[in-house]
């Protein structure tokens, strides 16, 4: 049977691994267009802290799903898929190679496999669980999750408060575990065929790149960008404003840290985030692991796929 589903080339990997620049090179080589799969680059006005490629860095390659919503607008994996799916089909219909580029594993998984059917959140229950997290700490709630849903607990970091709360919430609402729902669904609503390429490098090199980029963001004006967002009325409590970089700078602006400490904490938290990203990607047996400099191998994989 002929498989007529559109083909996607996924370029993913941990933060600071060089996804954006590599993707531009590949799009120029193969006549492609880039669709963003980074959950922060969709926000307008958040450029420096999200490492959003500038117009000059895009080098004429069309980039899609960048600057889609304001920081106070709702955006999630479901909305991402609703935007990305028709866009990718349209790009493929024009016989362009579709490069999906970014490090948000959930967006990529949802795009390729569909959406997990979960109950909507219950505001009262969410508030109760959030209060429990403040009283007990996310680590204690994670221990509770280990007892109720050990499989999910393995995949959710003890400091990832939102995902811990959501996993516990699903148990309360459905009397089923998140892991059992995932197993049943298996993310098999596949509208596309995909070549999944994940960049990797030695940990020491990656951490050096993360440290250097964190410092470069400050030098490029991350403090001023964050202050501008606050001046424009965006609440410090917004999810977008609590993300890497912005929350660290807000702590500095509020006087909780000096700038050197804010940079150190940003570097530390970004390294931890990269580690979680790699854990997520290693869970995908279809991932092709390559070093950014392995261009011959990357080109060969893409040529054979398309």
* In the chain, domain spans: 7-116+187-305, 123-185
Do 248 and 262 meet the contact criterion of CB atoms below 8 Å apart?
yes
Looking at the DSSP bridge assignments, the partners of residue 199 are 290
Looking at per-residue pLDDT, the higher value among 190 and 79 belongs to: 79
Classify residue 35 by its DSSP letter.
Answer: E
pLDDT of residue 129: 73
Residue with the larger pLDDT of the pair 192 and 155: 192
Please report which confidence band the pLDDT of residue 8 belongs to, taking 50, 70 and 90 as the band edges.
very high
pLDDT tens, position by position, 158-193: 877 778 888 888 888 888 888 887 676 555 567 899
Tokens standing for residue 167: 């996993």
Say which residues have a Cβ less than 8 Å from residue 207's Cβ, sequence separation at least 6: 271, 274
Helix segments in the chain, DSSP class H: 19-30, 55-58, 77-93, 105-113, 123-136, 138-148, 150-155, 161-174, 178-185, 203-220, 222-231, 246-253, 259-282, 295-305
Q: What is the pLDDT averaged over residues 267-278?
A: 96
CB neighbours of 272 closer than 8 A, spacing ≥ 6?
159
Q: 7-116+187-305 maps to which CATH number?
A: 3.40.50.300
Mean pLDDT calculated for residue range 133-159: 83
Q: For 34-38, 148-152, 175-179, 227-231, which range has the lowest pLDDT when averaged over its residues?
A: 175-179
Q: pLDDT tens for residues 223-239?
A: 999 999 999 999 999 99
Residues 182, 186, 191, CA angle at the centre, nearest 5°?
130
Classify residue 65 as left (phi > 0), alpha (psi -120 to 50) or beta: left
Q: What is the largest CA-CA distance in the chain?
A: 64
C-alpha gyration radius of the chain: 20
CATH 3.40.50.300 fits 123-185, yes or no: no
């Amino acid at each position: 049977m002929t498989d007529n589903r559109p083909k996607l080339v996924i370029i993913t990997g941990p933060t600071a691994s060089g996804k954006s620049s590599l993707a531009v090179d590949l799009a120029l080589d193969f006549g492609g267009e880039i669709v963003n799969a980074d959950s922060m680059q969709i926000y307008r006005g958040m450029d420096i802290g999200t490492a959003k490629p500038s117009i000059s860095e895009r080098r004429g390659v069309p980039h899609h799903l960048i600057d889609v919503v304001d920081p106070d607008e709702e955006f999630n994996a479901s909305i991402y898929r609703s935007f990305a799916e028709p866009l990718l089909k349209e790009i493929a219909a024009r016989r362009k190679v579709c490069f999906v580029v970014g490090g948000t594993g959930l967006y990529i998984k949802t795009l390729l496999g569909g959406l997990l059917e979960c109950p909507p959140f219950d505001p009262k229950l969410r508030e109760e669980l959030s209060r429990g997290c403040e009283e007990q700490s996310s680590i204690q709630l994670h221990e509770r999750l280990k007892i109720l849903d050990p499989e999910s607990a393995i995949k959710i970091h003890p400091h990832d408060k939102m995902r811990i709360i959501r996993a516990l919430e699903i148990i309360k609402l459905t009397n089923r575990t998140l892991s059992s729902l995932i197993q049943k669904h298996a993310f098999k609503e596949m509208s596309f065929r995909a070549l999944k390429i994940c960049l990797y490098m030695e940990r020491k090199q990656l951490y050096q790149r993360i440290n250097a980029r964190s410092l470069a963001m400050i030098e490029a004006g991350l403090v001023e960008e964050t202050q501008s967002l606050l001046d424009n009325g965006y609440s410090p409590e917004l999810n977008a404003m609590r993300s890497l970089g912005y929350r660290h700078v807000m702590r500095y602006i509020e006087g909780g840290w000096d700038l050197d400490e804010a940079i150190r904490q940003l570097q530390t938290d970004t390294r931890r985030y990269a580690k979680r990203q790699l854990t997520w990607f290693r869970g995908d047996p279809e991932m092709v692991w390559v070093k950014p400099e392995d261009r011959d191998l990357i080109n060969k994989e893409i040529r054979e796929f398309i």
